[in-house]
């Protein structure tokens, strides 16, 4: 009486065979041309990076995908498409993009942002934010005379929400001049300097000039600002600093390059 291996044994055997074939120099042969196993490993690494677990099923799917690509690639070569100028240019751009990605990954690996740099940036941002958060309203006018007229109307009891309808700031005029909760660093210096001097419910009695025009500012409310914990924002700061480091490196290389 013949015995047959269990489904589990078959699956394990299939996985062993597939992984063993990946360990060899070639994954498969299509019309006499070998597919390097390194291609499969590269594709599997990409899938792992996206969260896919390594498994016999994944490896078999990758194998089939590479076989199909090889078949289509051979057909394209047979038709002479690899000789076309635009196709060659695209192939060179793709090759260049892969080299650039590898170079930048290597640069980041060897020039990582330090913990001290991240902490220093966190403290700097925290310092710029201050310890207070403000909720201002404003009316932006073109001339100082117009701003003075708005101040006079406020002093006479007109609500700033009504006066904001004539504001030159399209982002806040429909909200009665409301700029929402913000820290002083989010505004231009003349605006923030005037705003932080106001008491709750008070408005500027002289026009505040900036590059945008003349502001009349009312401080609707103020509250204590608590900065987010270091560990919570550390990944974002690290990513931003690393990106700045890469951009500076690229600019340095550009400055050294001989471009004619």
Higher pLDDT, 20 or 80: 80
Domain-wise residue ranges, the chain = 20-82, 86-129+226-259, 130-222
Q: Per-residue pLDDT for 22 more than 80?
A: no
Nearest Cα residue to 117 out of 241, 243, 249: 241
Residue 174 corresponds to which tokens in the numbers above?
């429909």
pLDDT tens column, 184-196: 888 999 999 999 9
What confidence score (pLDDT) does residue 24 get?
53
What confidence score (pLDDT) does residue 15 get?
42
Handedness of CA 53, 55, 59, 60 (dihedral sign): negative
Per-residue confidence at 131, pLDDT binned at 50, 70, 90? confident
Number of C-beta neighbours around residue 192 at 10 A: 21
List strands edge to edge, sheet with 213-224.
132-141, 213-224, 208-210
Q: Per-residue pLDDT for 17 more than 70?
A: no
Q: How many CA within 13 A on the CB side of residue 257?
A: 8
Per-residue confidence at 130, pLDDT binned at 50, 70, 90? confident
Return all residues near 231 (Cβ < 8 A) that are at least 6 apart.
none
Q: How many CA within 13 A on the CB side of residue 129?
A: 16
The arithmetic mean of pLDDT across residues 240-254, rounded, is 96
Per-residue confidence at 127, pLDDT binned at 50, 70, 90? confident
Topology of the domain comprising 130-222: Chitinase A; domain 3 (3.10.50)
CB 167 within 8 A of CB 178: no
Q: Per-residue pLDDT for 225 more than 80?
A: yes
pLDDT tens column, 144-167: 999 999 999 999 999 999 999 999
Per-residue confidence at 70, pLDDT binned at 50, 70, 90? very high
Higher pLDDT, 14 or 38: 38
Q: Per-residue pLDDT for 97 more than 90?
A: yes
* Ranges 17-21, 37-41, 95-99: which has the least confidence: 17-21
The arithmetic mean of pLDDT across residues 123-144, rounded, is 91
Give CA 249 to chain center in angstroms. Answer: 19
The arithmetic mean of pLDDT across residues 197-224, rounded, is 96
Alpha carbon distance 163, 25 (integer Å) = 77
The pTM of this model reads 0.60
CB 104 within 8 A of CB 246: yes
What confidence score (pLDDT) does residue 2 get?
36
Q: What percent of the chain is modeled with pLDDT above 90?
A: 81
What confidence score (pLDDT) does residue 145 get?
97
Alpha carbon distance 65, 10 (integer Å) = 22
CB 140 within 8 A of CB 167: yes
């Amino acid at each position: 009486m013949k015995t047959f291996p269990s489904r589990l044994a078959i699956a394990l055997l299939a996985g062993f065979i597939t992984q063993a074939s990946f360990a060899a120099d070639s994954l498969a042969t299509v019309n006499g041309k070998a597919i390097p196993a390194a291609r499969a490993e590269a594709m599997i690494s990409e899938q792992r990076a996206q969260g896919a677990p390594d498994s016999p099923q994944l490896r078999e799917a990758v194998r089939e995908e590479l076989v199909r690509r090889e078949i289509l690639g051979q057909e394209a070569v047979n038709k002479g498409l690899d000789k076309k100028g635009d196709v060659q240019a695209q192939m060179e751009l793709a090759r260049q993009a892969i080299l650039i990605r590898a170079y930048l990954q290597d640069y980041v690996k060897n020039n990582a942002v330090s913990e001290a740099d991240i902490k220093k940036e966190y403290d700097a941002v925290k310092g710029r934010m201050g310890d207070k958060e403000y909720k201002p309203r404003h009316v932006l006018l073109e001339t100082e005379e117009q701003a003075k007229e708005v101040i006079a109307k406020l002093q006479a009891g007109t609500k700033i929400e009504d006066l904001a309808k004539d504001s030159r700031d399209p982002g806040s005029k429909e909200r009665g001049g409301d700029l929402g909760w913000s820290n002083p660093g989010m505004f231009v210096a003349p605006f923030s300097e005037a705003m932080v001097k106001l008491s709750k419910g008070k408005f500027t009695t002289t026009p505040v000039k900036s590059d945008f025009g003349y502001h009349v500012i009312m401080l609707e409310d103020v509250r204590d600002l608590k900065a987010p914990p270091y560990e919570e924002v550390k990944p974002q700061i690290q990513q931003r600093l690393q990106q700045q480091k890469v951009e500076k490196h690229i600019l340095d290389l550009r400055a050294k390059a001989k471009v004619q």
